[in-house]
Amino acid sequence: MVFILGINFPESQLVKRTLTSFYGIGPLVSSRIMARLSIHPTAKVGSLANKQVLDLTAELSGMTIENELRRQLRDNIARLRDMGSYRGRRHAMGLPVRGQRTKTQTATANKLNRVERKG
């Protein structure tokens, strides 16, 4: 098991998959991080040297990910709601925010725009 930012990952898991398991890091960002640290795209977590794991942890700790990103998203929505903007009111009512159709097919918006968005 390899320990990265407080989470244990199995040694057989790909590094790219490990990075995308963090909230806020997608496939493109994980590929760029791996290229910056010169890690092969098909490398497994167990094959990383200790220095590479430390560099990876340092790179991730400098980014806005996980709880900090969720808090930032929640604060932005709360700011819009408190300001009374159109988007904020739509978030508060649980309706589509970005101009989608409301006559039919609002199930996804109703699911995503709950009173407190979890992220």
Residues 6 or more apart from 83 whose CB is under 8 A from it? none
| Dist CA 59 CA 38 (whole Å) | 13
Instruction: Encode pLDDT of 1-59 as tens digits.
Output: 899 888 899 999 999 999 999 999 999 999 999 999 999 999 999 999 999 999 999 99
Q: Which of 41-50, 86-95, 106-115 has the lowest mean pLDDT?
A: 106-115
pLDDT at 72: 95
Write down the pTM of the prediction. 0.79
Give the residue carrying structure tokens 């009512």.
93
pLDDT category of residue 96 using cuts at 50, 70 and 90: confident
